[in-house]
A and B are shown apart, each in its own frame.
Chain A
Amino acid sequence: MSSQESYGSRLPYKFLVGLVTIVILFLEAPLIILVIQSFTAESYLAFPPPSYGIRWYKEVLTSEDWLNSISLSLIIAAVVTPLSLVLGTMAAFALDRGPKKLKHGLQTIMIAPMVLPHIVLGLGLFKMALQLDIDDSMLAYIPAHLTITIPFVIISVGASLQTFEVSLEEAARSLGASRFWAVWYITLPIIRPALIAGSIFSFIISFDEFIITFFLTTFQRTLPIEMFSTLMYQVKPSIAAVSTLTLAVTAFLTAMLILRGQVTSGDKVIK
């Protein structure tokens, strides 16, 4: 047998790359177009915009309705993120360090809210909030958002704990550190990328959450709800500007998530 061709080199690369390019265009082009349209200086949406400017950003950032909804969303996400990180990390530790035979069952229960359609979860939460008379308030939004963000923290931290070398923690403990300080100084710094990932997931999910909050609110409006009601009424360039602002926040956090995940897990995690 002469020159052996490896399977990899025989992949129909060009065909595959062509297909994937189309898919990626399908994924990203609408967003790029949205961003371009948001910089229109006209009072209507057209592509490409006849003239450019930041007129609609000014309008959004000076409108009381938009600012109120943006700050409500930011406040909710800012409260939800740290709580979600702490509760989710505790749960992930319990699942990792607890009895092995219970792990699978418990894990299924702990991430169950993720699989439940949010429409059903929202319906149930709305009923519960009405019963307790806490609908249309933070007391309803925050536990509701936590329920959908915690599973993401459990999954990302849990995955990291699985590859974590427990002997490092045991070494610290054998040198006299208590369980808590061993975890604090050894384990948590090593699984930091997962902690960051969990926080970013929590923030974005809470910030973007629509349907559950939609059930829970009557007068208060989070950003997605304000966007939805504006959209149902009229499609104006301001909606493109707000969408772009939201996109910028989430894209930035996503980029951080991916870059940090790669950078930190490369040189920090001890193999």
Chain B
Amino acid sequence: MSRNSDQNYGALWLLTPTVLLYLATFFVPLIMLGVLSFARFEASVTTLGFYFDNYVKIFSDGITLKIFFQTVRLSLMITFWCLILGYPVALLMRSCSPKMKMVLLFCVVSPLLTSIIVRNVAWLLILGRTGIINDTLIQWDLISKPLPLMYNEFGVILAVVHVYLSFMVLPLFGALNSINSSIEEAASSLGAPYWRVFLSVTLPLSLPGVMAGCTLVFILSMGVYLTPVIMGGNFVLTLPMLITESVREQYDWPFASAMALMLLLAIGFMVILSSGVQRLVGRR
């Protein structure tokens, strides 16, 4: 009785409850958003149909497209900083003692499991106008008025990196861990200095992890709502903020749906791009 030979279609009934749940909470709602995005919203009345009003509005109202690109730019910067900060951690996790690995793992996983809002509160207390940094600097007479550490892009990027760094470290660690270290030993024993081994062996071999981590962090960053609201005030606008506002304040479902679909398209584009790059690298 080998497992591979039995095509056990009977086991699939176990999927039924979850599939039914997803139908109601995932597939149908998404289809509804898709349909709504082509509806018309005039004088607070939604008319279903096949109109391109909302998509035209996205590209022509002068603000939505700008905010969309700002969201993309912010997400790319967040991804970049996560990679820069996360790689050394993954590298050390791979080569340190098991005990140390547990400590690092805890430090890396804990943000993943503590609420975003708690982390944002923590940064608020540090970076705010009367936060620790400004308070201390003013007390020491180093500055006369508070530095603008939040309610700007800096604060938002810092706080989001703080929350999503773990999503970068875990795939990086996975990729680094699966590299057979004898390849590096070989390069090293042939006289290559550390940085040379790193650049021409370790780094290229860890590329799948880099791509996975970057894609994950980018996707998450594109959809983040809470941190820009708390850390950015109304000074850093992102697409998720626009979506939330148009539904909760203006009840403009069609426009919100169109923006949501645009967000999904951007994410889909990124996923395809990264798998394309991976295939390209894999072929080499």
Contacts and interface: CB of A to CB of B under 8 A. Distances in A.
A8 interface: yes
Contacts of B89: 20, 23-24
Interface in A220-271: 224, 227-228, 231, 235, 239-240, 243, 246-247, 250-251, 253-255, 257-258, 262
A45 B128 CA distance: 11
Interface in B1-47: 1, 3-4, 7-9, 11-15, 17-18, 21-22, 24-26, 28-30, 32-33, 36
B1 to A, nearest CB: 6
A170 B1 contact: yes
Interface string B252-284: 010011001001100100000000000000000
B20 to A, nearest CB: 10
Interface centre among B13, B30, B128, B243 (most CB of A within 10 A): B30
A30 B116 contact: no
Contacts of A243: 117-118, 121-122
A47 B21 contact: no
B178 to A, nearest CB: 14
Nearest to A166: B3
Main secondary structure of the interface of B (DSSP, over half): helix
B125 A240 contact: yes
A6 B108 CA distance: 28
B240 A147 contact: no
B111 interface: yes
B88 A150 contact: no
**For chain B, which range describes its interface: under 10, 10 to 19, 20 to 34, or 35 or more residues?**
35 or more
B48 interface: no
B184 A33 contact: no
Contact of B11 (A23, A97, A110, A131): A97
Interface centre among B33, B113, B194 (most CB of A within 10 A): B113
5 contacts: A4-B189, A98-B9, A117-B264, A123-B29, A246-B118
A253 B113 CA distance: 9
Interface stretch (A10-18, A54-62, A64-72): A10-18
Contact of A228 (B8, B13, B130, B226): B226
